[in-house]
Amino acid sequence: MTTTEQRAQPVMMLSDAASTKVAQLLSDMDEEGLALRVAVRAGGCSGLSYEMFFDTESRSDDHEVTFGSVTVRVDAESAPHLTGATLNYSDGLQGEGFSVDNPNAQRSCGCGKSFG
């Protein structure tokens, strides 16, 4: 996928709340070149699970998109599973945390960390 295509159709989106929270976490870490890497791995009770971590490594086949001061990287293998997904963040009475609204998930488990 070319850079122009990546900008026109980002693999995944961040809600405003998620973007704000990730930017805060990145600022607290105070390390140059960090980006949020979102990946899909085999495992979890529904077959696939989400993995999110901060990373300075950029690969040539990564799908990369920037939301304000936050850069999100998705590896080529995970991209088909995350196309159209949105990373959300909530800080409410039910607890705080990130969640993924993924139109590609045919089923998910109660923990919200895996899908199939």
Mean pLDDT of the chain: 84
Q: What is the pLDDT of residues 54-83, one digit of tens each?
A: 999 999 999 999 999 999 999 999 999 999
CATH architecture label of 3-104:
Sandwich (2.60)
Strand partners, 114: 49
* Angle formed at CA 20 by CA 76 and CA 91, multiple of 5 degrees: 105
The beta strands (E) that lie in 1-116 are given as 12-14, 35-42, 48-55, 63-67, 70-74, 85-92, 95-101, 114-115
Who has greater pLDDT, 22 or 48?
Answer: 22
